[in-house]
Structure 1
Amino acid sequence: MRVRRRIHAVLLTALLLGAGGIVSGAAQANPAPQSEYVFTTFTYDSESDLHIYRSSDALNFEAPAGPAYTPSDSLLRDPSIIRHRDGRYYVVHTTGWDTTNFAIAVSNDLQSWQHLTTVSVPVAGIHNTWAPEFFVDPVNGSVNVIVSLGAEYRSSFRPYLFTALDSSLRRWGPPAALPGIEPNYIDTFVTYHQGEYHAFAKNETDKRIEHAVAPRLGGPYEFVQTGDFAGWGRAEGPAITELPDGRYRIYMDAYTSDRFLYSDSADLYEWTAPRELPGGLSGFVRHGTVLRLN
C-alpha cells in the first residue's frame, strides 16, 4: 500500500508540474498585446511633407528617416489619418493657404503613398479651406471630414461637415455647416463619448481651444467649456486619441511658444496639466492627428 501511495503521489506531482509548465509556457507564448499608435503631422521645417511617427504608449514616438509623402502639386498641412474598412490608410490634408479644396492620399502600409482625390468645396464666398479632419461615426459607420472654411481672407472660419457617398472616399456629399459653432472657430476636432459628440475647436478671438457638445454629429452643438478652461493657454490643432485604460489624450500645437503639448482626461471635461511631448518632437512637429490601431 505504501508503495502504491508513493507511486500515486509521484504521478500526481508530475502531472501538476507538467500542467504548470504548460500554463507557464502558454503565458510566455501569448504576452498581453501592446497598443500601437500612428501620429501624422507636418513640421516647422516643411509645409509639404507628411511625417509619420509610431508609438506603443501614445507618448514616446519614433519616426523612420525622412518624410513619408510629398504631394506633387500642393502643400500638405494638418494631416488627419484613418484606417478604413478596406484595411488601407487614408490621410486628408490642407492643400494650400488660399485654396477651395482639400486632398486625400492613400497607402497600404504607411510607407508608400499616392494621391487619391481632391475634393472641391462648393460653398459660395469661401476663400480658405483649412484643417480637414476625418471622423468615422461609431453610430452608423459613416466616414466624414470636418473642415474649416473661411468666408473672408484667412478669417471668419467655421466648421463644415462632408460625408463620403461610398467606400471609395472619392465621392462626397454637399457640405453642411455645424450649427452652434459659429464663425470664428477653426481646427474643429470631434470625438464620440457616452452617446454624445464632443467638438474641440480653437476660438480665433482669444486663441483658446474650447469644448462643445451635441447629441448628433450634425449638431446642434452647445459650448460647455470656454476660455482657458483647462489651462492649455494659446493653442490650435487639437487632436484626441483613446488610451488603453479608457482615458483620452489630447494633443495640441502651442504655436505661440513653439511647443507641442498633451493633456489627459477620463471624461473630456477635467484635464491634467499640459506637458510637452517628449523625444525632441515639441517645437518640431505641428498640427496632426494620432490614430490608435489596436
Structure 2
Amino acid sequence: MYVYESADALTYRLLKGPAYTPPTGLIRDPSLIRHTDGYYYLVHTTDWTGNTIGFARSRDRTTWQFVAQHTLPVSGLARTWAPEWFVDTDGSVHVVVSLDTTNTFTFRPHLLTATDASLTRWTIPRPVAGLDRANYIDTFIVRHGGVYHAITKQETTKYLEHAVADSLAGPYTFTGTGDWAGWGSWREGPALVQLDNGGWRIYFDGYAEGKYYYSDSLDGLRTWTPIRELPGLSGFARHFTVLRERV
C-alpha cells in the first residue's frame, strides 16, 4: 500500500511507499478513516479467495500496525472483497463488503457494524436491502442531503450505478443505471470525497485501459462532468479511497 496526500483532491504527492504490507500477506482495496481514538484505521481485502478482511491502524498515516484479520461467519463464503468504511452521523462505524457465497464471482454487498469502540468486534454481515440483487461489488456509500447514496459496480455490465435510501441498511432504489453518468463501462473501485465548494468528486479505476479517472458533481450527485485522467496516479494506482481532513 502507498500513501499520498493532496491539498486540492487532484494533485497528489507521495508520503510513503510502500507504506504497509500486512503480516497475513496480500493487501487490496484499502479504505481509510480517522477514528475518535485519534488513530487512522485501514480495512482491506486480504486474499483472492477466503472469508476474511484485514484491519490496521496508524497515528500518522505512514507507519502502520496490524490489528486483526477478521473472519466473516457466512456459510459458503468464497470471496470477501472490497471492504469500505462508512461512519454515520450518529458516530456508528460500519464496513460495506462484497461477498461471493456461490463461488461464481457473483457478489452482493453486506453491512457490518462495529459493536465496540476498538473496532475489533463486529455484527454478523447482513445483505444491504435493494443492493442484494446478484452481482454488485465495490459499493461506496456517502450521506448527502439527508439521503444515503450508494455508487456500486454492476459486475455483469461493468457500469457504476447509483442508488439511494433513507436508511444505511436500505432498501435502496436505483436512480442511475447503465451509462447514466457518461463515465462509460469497465469502471470499478469508486471513491467519493466532498470538495471545498460543496460539490463531490468521484475517482474510479478504468481498469480495461489501465488508467485512473475522476469526475465532479455540483448538483448533489445527479449530473457529472466528463471524466478526466487523474494526473500522477493514473496508470499506477488501483482502487484507492480518499479521506478528507481539515488541517
Same fold (TM > 0.5) = yes
- Of 238, 243, 247, the residue aligned with 1:286 is 238
TM (norm. structure 1) is 0.81
Q: CA shift at 1:99, angstroms?
A: 1.4
TM (norm. structure 2) is 0.96
Cα distance in 2, alignment partners of residues 98 and 53 from structure 1: 28
Q: Which residue of 2 aligns with 1:276?
A: 229
On the 8 A contact 1:128/1:154 being kept in 2, the answer is no
Where 2:15 maps in the other structure, the secondary structure is coil
- Of 47, 54, 58, the residue aligned with 2:5 is 54
Cα distance in 2, alignment partners of residues 94 and 101 from structure 1: 8
Cα distance in 1, alignment partners of residues 230 and 99 from structure 2: 29
Q: CA shift at 1:269, angstroms?
A: 1.1
- Of 162, 177, 182, the residue aligned with 1:231 is 182
Structure 1: 5+ residue stretches without partners: 1-49
Q: CA shift at 1:89, angstroms?
A: 0.2
Cα distance in 1, alignment partners of residues 102 and 126 from structure 2: 18
Where 2:240 maps in the other structure, the secondary structure is strand
Deviations 1:146-195 (A, max 9, x none): 00001222511000000000110011111110011112100000000011
Aligned residues: 243
1:254 partnered with 2:201 = no
Q: Which residue of 1 aligns with 2:45?
A: 94
Cα distance in 2, alignment partners of residues 166 and 257 from structure 1: 42
RMSD across aligned positions (CA) = 0.9
Q: Which residue of 1 aligns with 2:115?
A: 165
Q: Which residue of 1 aligns with 2:163?
A: 212
1:118 partnered with 2:69 = yes
Cα distance in 2, alignment partners of residues 70 and 180 from structure 1: 35
More helix per residue: 1
Cα distance in 2, alignment partners of residues 225 and 174 from structure 1: 30
Q: CA shift at 1:125, angstroms?
A: 1.4
Q: Which 4+ stretches in 1 moved above 3 angstroms?
A: none
Cα distance in 1, alignment partners of residues 122 and 17 from structure 2: 32
1:77 partnered with 2:28 = yes
Cα distance in 1, alignment partners of residues 195 and 76 from structure 2: 40
Q: CA shift at 1:292, angstroms?
A: 0.2
1:130 partnered with 2:94 = no
Deviations 1:28-75 (A, max 9, x none): xxxxxxxxxxxxxxxxxxxxxx11100000000000353111112221
Q: CA shift at 1:122, angstroms?
A: 0.9
Larger radius of gyration: 1
Q: Identity of paired residues, percent?
A: 53
Structure 2: 5+ residue stretches without partners: none
